[in-house]
Structure 1
Amino acid sequence: MGTEQAAAVEISEPLLLHEEAAVDKIRADDQEIERIPEWKDQITIRGLVVSAILGTLFCIITHKLNLTVGIIPSLNVAAGLLGFFFVKSWTGFLSKLGISVQPFTRQENTVIQTCVVACYGLAFSGGFGSYLLSMDEKTYKLIGEDYPGNRAEDVKNPGLLWMMGFIFVVSFLGLFSLVPLRKVMVLEYKLTYPSGTATAMLINSFHTNTGAELARKQVSCLGKYLSISFCWSCFKWFFSGIGDSCGFDNFPPWVDAVQEYRAGDWYPADLGSNDFKGLYGYKVFVAISLILGDGLYNLIKIISVTIKEICTKRQNLPVVKEVTDENSSKLLAEQKKRDEVFLKDRIPFWFAASGYVGLAAISTAAMPMIFPPLKWYLVLCSYILAPALAFCNSYGTGLTDWSLASTYGKIGLFIIASLVGSNGGVLAGLAACGVMMSIVSTAADLMQDFKTGYLTLSSAKSMFVSQLVGTAMGCVIAPLTFWFGGASILDHLIVHTKHHML
């Protein structure tokens, strides 16, 4: 029978001296291999220039997809890849000329990717393919002047200046709404954010001994398939028909069976497939209920657990001795290093709260000037509810890699439109949809980039600042690229739609 030692163990003393020594040794080796720059050094002029170029390119791509397909894929990986390729090519060219250049680190690469994502994200959440176009005169005439609720007073044609002003006053609030929860989302919940994780793994692989060759092969592969896609699009152009039907309008078949069986009972039988008074309304609101219910449950769970831990502080922690091998010790050291870097440059809660309140006050005063039917108290109520919806969207994005900003935008649209009524409710509802979409979309993008920064040992403060810079770029680049390029695409689509209706 073994004997029990009665030696007292202080909780402040290291439990495993050998493990601590191994962790310190690994940490010292990592510091010798790579010095992590300060957060200010991670943001460079060349990185911002490359971000502006790639942001312009991706905004054009997003407008094209938004106006034709309606589904925007994640371009995070492409932003990280092209950012590495451009900066590495530039530094290599200067090195051959004998000019000394600053080393290109994975942190700078991550900042470029974050800035690009923030920039082109506004091409989607800015409503250039959705709620802003729903306000113009072309849409009013396309729906029909005799359509119930379609009033000429609710028409607001696109204008470059007012669109820029609108995006400026609504796009920055989402960045401040969930900053205090970054530790919960990334470290405690350990949400995957698949696109952010994949981008981080790609960036980490680039900044190795064989990373440059790998990036060169990937850019070559990207260019090859881009050329194939372009040639295929040109080929299809010669055989494109009139209209937007793709052959899958009646897929899956059981949906038609339900529609035919309940048509005239649950909803009028003579409605279109996209009419909210028909079956489409059931699809949308059931999806909204499921998504919103799951997100609000986790938000309430976080609040209740936090309050419980504050009220019942643990006094005596159990002393547990864990036996780990060399590999697990190395993984433990890497995780500790990531946690330290992620939590090192803190973003104070008071800064995030004051920033959100200040921007909300500015937006509350400015929005009624742009959209008179949207009263200031409705804007204020939207900003009170928006952080909860932003959390739900960020949580769902972390699990599924799918931002449902447009779905949450519909919540604001229906609520505000019903409150305003027939006298300007359409315009007010569409503007409220833009407010919700901008906040929940930018909040999800920020959390995803926090995940990328966590895995690439980038400072959370540099991630936040690069998001601010990228959002400022997007407020200018997204409207400009739409104004000079997206309008022609839209006119082409309207002509095809009119032919299809005739």
Structure 2
Amino acid sequence: MQVMILDYKLLFPSGSAIAGLVNSFHTPAGAATAKLQIATLLRSLGGSFSWAVFQWFYTGGDGCGFQAFPLFGLEAYKKRFYFDFSPSLVGIGMICPPMVNFSLLLGAVVSSAILWPILQGKRGEWYDADASPSSLRGLNGYKVPMGISLVLGDCLFQLAAVSIRAARGFHHRRQHQQDEDDGGQQSLSYDDRRRIHNFQSEGMPTHVSLAGYAILAGIATVFLPGIFPQIRFYHVAVCYAMAPLLAFCSSYASGLTDWSLGTIYGKLAIFIFGAWVGEASGGAIAGLVAGGVVVVVIGNSSELMHDFKSAYLTLTSPLSMFASQVIGTTLGCILNPLLFLGFQEMAGGADHLGEAGSLYAAPMAMAYRGIADLSVEGIKTLPRHSVMLCVPCFLVALCVDALAAVAAANGWRIKGYVPNIMAMAIPFFVGPTFAIDMCLGSLLVILWRRRNKQAANLLSVVVASGLICGDGLWALPSSLLAIFKVEPPMCMKFLSNYQTEQMRKHLILAAAARRRTS
């Protein structure tokens, strides 16, 4: 916690946005600044919400709306290079460092514009041409392992760097270390020193954290095999033993880009434990259970780090944030089963919930089940050369991280231009779309600072918070409209010249047929 927030100074954009929203109402700069920030926040929030409402009217069909706007042409659109007009992603881009956002774009170009077209040329030769997009037998069998190789290489390097730093600090004399800390503290502003003091003074002791985690892991290890006989107690124990390392990796990624990799590691756990248990012993169910454990542990760790970042910036007690998280998780354990039963009743019974074509089809559930079914066959389900291509990805991650560390240690000029591997890996999983939105956010801040640096530093986080919150507020009205089956009245769609000509011919034939019948 302290390493990521105090040492690495990771932003955790959602947590920073929440803190910026709270601090805008309690700024120490005076009433005039507070009024300016609140007015800017309300304008940004209102504009974002209004834009979300406006976009909804044009989404009355599959692939309709501004979210499918081919800004860079139809060929780039086919590779998912387009701007989807998402205010929340632009806001996140305004908070994230420009180098992180440009690393996202670099990773998108390397993956979607270079690697995937090359691999698509091997379709039918290296992998099954008829495989579904979510199947690990197809192109996804390259995307997921290569992305995970980059993530693991980066996170193992960062973990090793943290361990070395901790070992060095441990061997220094306490007084000497205290003198260094005091000297570093004097170079910080009063607000930063106060935040650090508050954050460190109310932290939870390490032994208490470890004991709590061990107790919860022990409870799950005892009871989960009783609920799901396909998984054994040692499988659950291994899940909880490997989860902290993966949680560190995911929290690091979330601190950089706001993206949690819990679901990615969950898929990896499904594949590993499904293959370990085997088909004859119910490996598919065991893999899904193991994946659920990993997703929950990693997801909670990333969310908690966002809360701690908010606590650090707002001078809130970290223990109170942790207690709130515990209370919320406990309530979720009670409410989620009730919500499941409610959806089950609305869907017409257990036989229809989650089925394809039903009211609540749960497509991701089907995707996870497909991975679990394939996992029981082991690594042989991956396409040809998939594992071989993971090796250079892992080595590239280590080399780039080593270059960044050496450049930072020696003060080289390139230290601010070395790409961030974790950010580059994200588009391997989710595509390039959001990278363009976030780069636009960075460009807006850069141009704003060139024009008025003081105003940009004062209001950029406030504007970003408004964009994120306004876009999020539309989720509730849109959900209510979907529940009451209110459809958007229009569809805006972009077609190629060939598709337009085909549609024109179809309309001419349809009109001629109507004339003949009349």
TM-score, scaled to structure 2: 0.52
Paired residue for 1:190? 9
Matching of residue 310 in structure 1 with residue 129 in structure 2: no
Matching of residue 437 in structure 1 with residue 256 in structure 2: no
1:331 Cα deviation from its structure 2 partner: 5.5
Paired residue for 2:152? 292
Matching of residue 346 in structure 1 with residue 203 in structure 2: yes
1:439 partner letter: V
1:213 Cα deviation from its structure 2 partner: 8.4
Contact 1:345/1:461 (<8 A) preserved: yes
1:493 Cα deviation from its structure 2 partner: 6.4
Q: How far apart in 1 are the matches of 2:147 and 2:223?
A: 32
Paired residue for 1:266? 126
- The 5-angstrom pairing of residues 88-487 of structure 1 reads 182-208=1-27, 209=31, 211=34, 215=38, 218=41, 222=45, 226=49, 229-230=52-53, 232-233=55-56, 236-237=59-60, 239-240=61-62, 251=80, 257-313=117-173, 332-423=189-280, 424-485=282-343
Q: How far apart in 1 are the matches of 2:133 and 2:123?
A: 12
* CA gap 1:319/1:264 in 2 versus in 1, 3 angstroms: closer
Q: SS where residue 121 of structure 2 aligns?
A: helix
Q: SS where residue 494 of structure 1 aligns?
A: coil
Q: SS where residue 340 of structure 1 aligns?
A: helix
- For residues 69-125 of structure 1, what are the alpha-carbon distances to aligned partners after superposition, in whole Å with 9 as ceiling and x for unaligned? xxxxxxxxxxxxxxxxxxxxxxxxxxxxxxxxxxxxxxxxxxxxxxxxxxxxxxxxx
1:457 Cα deviation from its structure 2 partner: 0.6
Paired residue for 1:145? none
Aligned residues: 310
Q: How far apart in 1 are the matches of 2:215 and 2:240?
A: 11
- For residues 107-145 of structure 1, what are the alpha-carbon distances to aligned partners after superposition, in whole Å with 9 as ceiling and x for unaligned? xxxxxxxxxxxxxxxxxxxxxxxxxxxxxxxxxxxxxxx
* CA gap 1:254/1:366 in 2 versus in 1, 3 angstroms: same
1:380 Cα deviation from its structure 2 partner: 0.5
1:233 partner letter: W
* CA gap 1:380/1:281 in 2 versus in 1, 3 angstroms: same
Q: How far apart in 1 are the matches of 2:11 and 2:24?
A: 19
1:267 Cα deviation from its structure 2 partner: 1.9
1:313 Cα deviation from its structure 2 partner: 3.2
1:240 Cα deviation from its structure 2 partner: 4.8
1:299 partner letter: L
1:405 partner letter: G
* CA gap 1:288/1:315 in 2 versus in 1, 3 angstroms: same
Q: How far apart in 2 are the matches of 1:282 and 1:495?
A: 31
Q: Which runs of 5+ in 1 are unaligned?
A: 1-181
1:490 Cα deviation from its structure 2 partner: 6.7
Higher relative contact order (CA 8 A, sep 6+): 2
1:198 Cα deviation from its structure 2 partner: 2.3
Contact 1:374/1:428 (<8 A) preserved: yes
1:279 partner letter: L
Paired residue for 1:83? none
Q: How far apart in 2 are the matches of 1:268 and 1:235?
A: 37
Matching of residue 494 in structure 1 with residue 352 in structure 2: no
* CA gap 1:261/1:309 in 2 versus in 1, 3 angstroms: same
Contact 1:275/1:281 (<8 A) preserved: yes
Contact 2:354/2:360 (<8 A) preserved: no
Q: How far apart in 2 are the matches of 1:240 and 1:395?
A: 35
Q: How far apart in 2 are the matches of 1:383 and 1:256?
A: 34
Q: SS where residue 287 of structure 1 aligns?
A: helix
Contact 1:403/1:441 (<8 A) preserved: yes
Contact 1:196/1:451 (<8 A) preserved: yes
2:134 partner letter: N
Q: How far apart in 1 are the matches of 2:7 and 2:297?
A: 23
Contact 1:368/1:375 (<8 A) preserved: yes
1:310 Cα deviation from its structure 2 partner: 1.9
- For residues 455-498 of structure 1, what are the alpha-carbon distances to aligned partners after superposition, in whole Å with 9 as ceiling and x for unaligned? 11111111111111122222233444454358659769624999
How high is the sequence identity, in percent, across the aligned residues? 36
Which one is further off, 480-489 or 289-298?
Answer: 480-489
Give the aligned CA root-mean-square deviation in angstroms. 3.7
Q: SS where residue 59 of structure 2 aligns?
A: helix
Q: How far apart in 1 are the matches of 2:79 and 2:177?
A: 61
1:370 partner letter: I
* CA gap 1:317/1:418 in 2 versus in 1, 3 angstroms: closer
Q: How far apart in 2 are the matches of 1:199 and 1:319?
A: 34
Contact 1:364/1:376 (<8 A) preserved: yes
1:196 partner letter: G
Q: SS where residue 263 of structure 1 aligns?
A: coil
Q: How far apart in 1 are the matches of 2:148 and 2:264?
A: 7
Which one is further off, 412-421 or 478-487?
Answer: 478-487
1:241 Cα deviation from its structure 2 partner: 8.3
* CA gap 1:483/1:217 in 2 versus in 1, 3 angstroms: farther
* CA gap 1:240/1:265 in 2 versus in 1, 3 angstroms: closer
1:192 Cα deviation from its structure 2 partner: 1.7
Q: How far apart in 1 are the matches of 2:166 and 2:220?
A: 31
Contact 1:344/1:459 (<8 A) preserved: no
